[in-house]
């Protein structure tokens, strides 16, 4: 199954939620192997 992620979603995740490009790449790679929902990890950068 191929994941269809629009550029607008990627832009939103980076700009509004401050998710790094590296983190998004990991999530996209994981979704290729397991198309189910991704777990969300909430953490602090402090």
List of residues 6+ apart from 32 with CB closer than 8 A: 2, 3
Give the pLDDT of the chain (46 residues) as one tens digit per residue: 455 678 888 899 899 989 899 888 888 887 777 777 766 665 555 4
C-alpha–C-alpha distance, residues 27 and 23, integer Å: 6
Give the residue extent of every domain in the chain. Answer: 1-46
User: What is the pTM (predicted TM-score) of this model?
Assistant: 0.61
d(CA 15, CA 35): 24
């Amino acid at each position: 199954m191929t994941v269809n992620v629009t550029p607008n979603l990627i832009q939103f995740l980076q700009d509004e939620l401050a998710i790094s490009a590296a983190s998004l790449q990991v999530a996209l790679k994981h979704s290729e192997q397991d198309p189910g929902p991704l777990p969300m990890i909430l953490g602090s950068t402090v």
